[in-house]
Chains A and B, each alone.
Chain A
Amino acid sequence: MLKIDDIRDLIRLLDESSLTELRIETEDMKLCLKKALTAPVTPPAAAAAAVAPPPAAAASFLPSPEAAAAPAADPAPPAGPAGPAPVQEANIHTITSPMVGTFYRAPSPDAPPYVDVGSRVTEKTVVCIVEAMKLMNEIEAECRGEIIEVLAENGQLVEYGQPLFRVRLG
């Protein structure tokens, strides 16, 4: 069974390599890592030139049916290597989860969400909490702009590196 740290290392290796995909299968698990496909770079003449996103990797566990003992992700395997990642527009920043845990959009169930589509954020704006074992990690935007998409559901288990928000920079 791979540890989170091992997977993190694999993601880094994949990022740094020229490979676009990595599959590992053992008796009790399958791991598939795919790199976001690089968008074709349009000539710099275009003002809103699509730029190649930094290589990002999506990770997913696929519990193999023959190994019931393999711990399955809770609540369900995250939307995995579902085809090529969407081509990123220029000036869009994706806020990702720095750890495995539960995603919360608000400080408590009856409080308004930290941010919503249309919210302006700065580097220090708290956009959500990711919780694991009563450790509450307040995630800051670390960029300046406007939230244009919320990519995870309140209460959902999020994986390391999973996209949480899209922010239009500026």
Chain B
Amino acid sequence: MAETAPFWSESERVRNAIVDMLLAAEDGYVSGQAMSESLGITRTAVWKHLQHLMELGFAIEAVHGQGYRLRGHPDILMAPLLRRRLPSACRLGQDAVWVPRVDSTNALAWRCAREGAPHGLVVSAGEQTGGRGRHGRSWFSPQGGLWMSVLLRRPIPLSRAAEVTLLASVAVRRAIGETTGLWPGIKWPNDIVHHGRKLCGILAEIRADGEVVEQVVLGIGINANIPADAFPPELRRTATSVLAETGTPVDRLALAAALLAAFDPWLEALADDRPAFAELAEEWRAANVTLGRWVRVATPTRLLVGVAERVDDRGVLYIRTESGKVCAVHSGDVLF
């Protein structure tokens, strides 16, 4: 299916096939002739694609008379690399588009969706030039981060759609924890934070037909391997990265694969109108850094001050204000 998807350019398709052949050979050699015949292109064309792959960071050894051997690959979410990290039952991430640079992975994912891209497509980029957060805010997304968007095409009831982003926050937290040993907190509704500074932001955009979601583009931006000093001064108090906190770069392919594998079955539950978030709400609450605290919540119309009393099984936050009134919050920024 991926091989004919129109959202892949012909050269991407060929390069993915070359990487697949090199990976399949494991430590062995693949001859230029074999690649040329299998792909239906000239040996010169094969060589050009190999050069391009080397520019992307693939270490390819050429031995005269033997062919080409893969000695290493970059830590990017190219389809053949990501697919090998995923459990075969995981529907998310079996197709992937990676680009060195894009305005916004969410915007590119929508373009792919319009061209008929399948459920589970992962769109990622080395850097985003117009990364965006909630309500048009910009999102700092330089080289080193994990900037990805997942296209979901499942008939999720609109009444459960907000659970998608909450579940994504649980999946991201688990993935970071399992991959790095750093177990961050979750700030309502779905920010991943460590000591009050943001490690990851999640933003979903949906298109619904009546009361059923047709498509979701789930944007996940993880400050993975951004050096602490690469953050602009105005962000240093509010943002941090996995690298800055642990001192070790994280394997982004492993991180992405872990979060996709965790998230996949929860999404299927939502599509069956099963209460997926309720099942994980305890884990979400245990990791939550908002509950029980005196907070200020900037809602679009006013500032609420009070105690973050509880979050229900649909993710709605309840704030008890000084007057004793309890207000339900569906959207807003929690400030401490």
| A residues with CB within 8 A of B | 3-5, 8, 68-75, 98-102, 104, 107-111, 131-138, 140, 154-157
A107, B330: Cβ atoms closer than 8 Å:
no
Which residues of chain B come closer than 8 Å to A109, judged between CB atoms?
A: 135-136
B299, A136: Cβ atoms closer than 8 Å:
no
- Those of B313-333 within 8 Å (CB) of chain A: 314-316, 318, 324-331
Stretch of B11-19, B31-39, B158-166, B244-252 that contacts chain A: B158-166
A72, B202: Cβ atoms closer than 8 Å:
no
9 residue pairs, one from A and one from B, having the closest CB atoms: A108-B136, A155-B300, A133-B189, A133-B162, A102-B331, A132-B330, A71-B328, A132-B162, A74-B327
B326, A132: Cβ atoms closer than 8 Å:
no
Contacts between chains A and B (CB distance < 8 A), count:
110
**New A-B pairs, 14, CB < 8 Å, besides A74-B327, A102-B299, A137-B208:** A8-B159, A68-B326, A74-B330, A99-B158, A107-B135, A109-B136, A110-B136, A131-B135, A132-B161, A132-B331, A134-B165, A134-B190, A134-B204, A138-B207
Which residues of chain A come closer than 8 Å to B330, judged between CB atoms?
A: 74, 100-102, 131-133, 157
B300, A102: Cβ atoms closer than 8 Å:
yes
B327, A4: Cβ atoms closer than 8 Å:
no
21 contacts between A and B (CB under 8 A): A68-B324, A71-B316, A73-B328, A74-B304, A74-B329, A98-B158, A101-B330, A102-B330, A107-B135, A107-B136, A109-B136, A133-B162, A133-B331, A134-B203, A134-B204, A135-B161, A135-B162, A137-B207, A137-B208, A155-B299, A156-B300
Q: For the complex, is B302 an interface residue (Cβ under 8 Å from A)?
A: yes
Interface size bracket, B side: 35 or more
Distance in angstroms between the alpha carbons of A13 and B326 in the assembled complex: 29
Q: A99-B161, A136-B206 are in contact. Are A108 and B328 (CB under 8 A)?
A: no
A72, B158: Cβ atoms closer than 8 Å:
no
B299, A74: Cβ atoms closer than 8 Å:
yes
Distance in angstroms between the alpha carbons of A73 and B190 in the assembled complex: 22
Which residues of chain B come closer than 8 Å to A5, judged between CB atoms?
A: 159
Distance in angstroms between the alpha carbons of A102 and B316 in the assembled complex: 13
B interface SS class: mixed
- Those of B164-215 within 8 Å (CB) of chain A: 164-166, 189-190, 202-208, 210-211
Partner of A111, one of B136, B203, B204: B136
CB distance from A161 to the nearest CB of B (A): 10
- Residue of A with least CB distance to B315: A133
Q: For the complex, is B134 an interface residue (Cβ under 8 Å from A)?
A: yes
A138, B134: Cβ atoms closer than 8 Å:
no
Which residues of chain B come closer than 8 Å to A135, judged between CB atoms?
A: 161-162, 164-165, 204-206
Q: For the complex, is B64 an interface residue (Cβ under 8 Å from A)?
A: no
Q: A72-B328, A98-B158 are in contact. Are A108 and B137 (CB under 8 A)?
A: yes
CB distance from B83 to the nearest CB of A (A): 28
Which residues of chain A come closer than 8 Å to B331, judged between CB atoms?
A: 101-102, 131-134
CB distance from B301 to the nearest CB of A (A): 5
Most buried by B among A101, A107, A135: A135
Distance in angstroms between the alpha carbons of A89 and B158 in the assembled complex: 30
- Residue of A with least CB distance to B160: A5
Q: A98-B210, A98-B211, A99-B159 are in contact. Are A133 and B190 (CB under 8 A)?
A: yes
